[in-house]
């Protein structure tokens, strides 16, 4: 037993790899449906975050930290309720380098989940835009949503990329340490601190942006004074953001968490299996 009845880091690595094999083997319909759910779940966290940061009375630091804490709702729902999230599924790389799934299977899973996440996140954005949610706090929520989205579309490519590396480094660490827990409370607490850090620090998450930017696009005509960057807030601006955010998330999650922990804990196990003649 390790620590307070949680799984050890070596056991986490084995569990993450085994879960990756299961995820890669899910039927097409299940993968797509769970991907849509994950996009919606992350969007719910982003919706909660926008509500909090729309209140200027909180101040910068408190608003960002509290916003990050409530944003954690999204990943808590993904992990505990069950869903397929592109950024978390970057950890399937561990099963791939252990030769338990093929590179083609890994690419297929990530592609399907990415598309499904977009449907779920953008679909939620459409629902929120129609719900009148943006009019809360005398329109401050809508103004904050448009301002956030416009700022994301106006960032330089390289800045988005490096913010995305750091963002998914923290998100995948949240997924990683949640695998140490044995109860719902364990998993929820493990998720909150890394996720709140990534959000408070303003890092980039491609799936969250699939909610935030479409919502801003849908609302911007009603808030013409929300941001000096409104000209960047359109569907081409979304593509400008998603390309570096996706690449950076892949590097931060698959490379800096999945691959590093595979080298530390699973490379030796893979070599042992090969020397024993196991498939």
User: How would residue 226 be classed by pLDDT, with cut points 50, 70 and 90?
Assistant: confident
Q: What is the pLDDT of residues 163-206, one digit of tens each?
A: 999 999 999 999 999 999 999 999 999 999 999 999 999 999 99
The helix/strand/coil state of 261 is: helix
- For the chain, the average pLDDT equals 93
Assess contact for 74 and 156: CB atoms under 8 A.
Answer: no
> How close are the terminal C-alpha atoms of the chain, in Å?
30
Q: pLDDT tens digit string along 81-136?
A: 999 999 999 999 999 999 999 999 999 999 999 999 999 999 999 999 999 999 99
Residue 278 confidence class, pLDDT cut points 50, 70, 90 = very low
| Domains of the chain (ranges, CATH numbers) | 9-268 (1.20.1080.10)
Angle, CA of 194, 144 and 124, to the nearest 5° = 70
Where residue 234 falls (left for φ over 0; alpha for ψ -120 to 50; beta otherwise) is beta
Closest CA to 212 of 163, 150, 168: 150
Question: Helices in the chain by DSSP H: which ranges?
Answer: 9-24, 28-53, 60-76, 86-89, 93-97, 103-131, 140-154, 157-178, 184-200, 206-219, 235-250, 260-261, 267-275
Work out the average pLDDT over 147-152: 96
**What Cα–Cα distance (Å) separates residue 5 from each residue in 1, 2, 78?**
6, 6, 23
Instruction: With cut-offs at 50, 70 and 90, classify the pLDDT of residue 7.
Output: confident
pLDDT attached to residue 6: 84
Q: Please provide the DSSP assignment of 67-128 as one string.
A: HHHHHHHHHHIIIIII---HHHHGGGHHHHHTTSS-HHHHHHHHHHHHHHHHHHHHHHHHHH
């Amino acid at each position: 037993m390790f620590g307070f009845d949680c799984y050890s880091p070596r056991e986490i690595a084995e569990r993450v790899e085994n879960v990756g094999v299961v995820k890669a083997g899910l039927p097409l319909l299940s993968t797509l449906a769970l991907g849509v759910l994950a996009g919606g779940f992350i969007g719910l966290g982003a919706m909660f975050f926008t509500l909090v940061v729309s209140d200027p009375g909180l101040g910068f630091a408190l608003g960002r930290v509290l916003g990050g804490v409530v944003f954690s709702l999204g990943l808590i729902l993904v992990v505990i309720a069950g869903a397929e999230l592109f950024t978390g599924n970057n950890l399937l790389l561990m099963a791939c380098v252990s030769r338990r799934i093929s590179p083609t299977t890994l690419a297929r899973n990530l592609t399907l989940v990415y598309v499904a996440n977009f449907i779920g996140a953008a679909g939620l954005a459409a629902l929120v835009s129609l719900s009148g949610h943006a009019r809360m706090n005398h329109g401050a929520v809508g103004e904050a949503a448009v301002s956030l989205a416009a700022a994301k579309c106006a960032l330089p490519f390289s800045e988005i990329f490096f913010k995305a590396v750091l963002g998914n480094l923290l998100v995948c660490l949240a997924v990683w340490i949640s695998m140490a827990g044995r109860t719902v409370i364990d998993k929820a607490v493990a998720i909150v601190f890394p996720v709140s850090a990534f959000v408070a620090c303003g890092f980039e998450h491609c799936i969250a942006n699939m909610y935030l930017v479409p919502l801003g696009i849908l609302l911007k005509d009603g808030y013409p004074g929300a941001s000096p960057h409104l000209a960047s807030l359109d569907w081409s601006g979304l593509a400008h953001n998603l390309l570096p955010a996706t690449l950076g998330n892949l590097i931060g999650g698959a490379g800096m968490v999945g691959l590093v922990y595979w080298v530390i804990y699973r490379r030796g196990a893979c070599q042992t299996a090969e020397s024993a003649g196991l498939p």
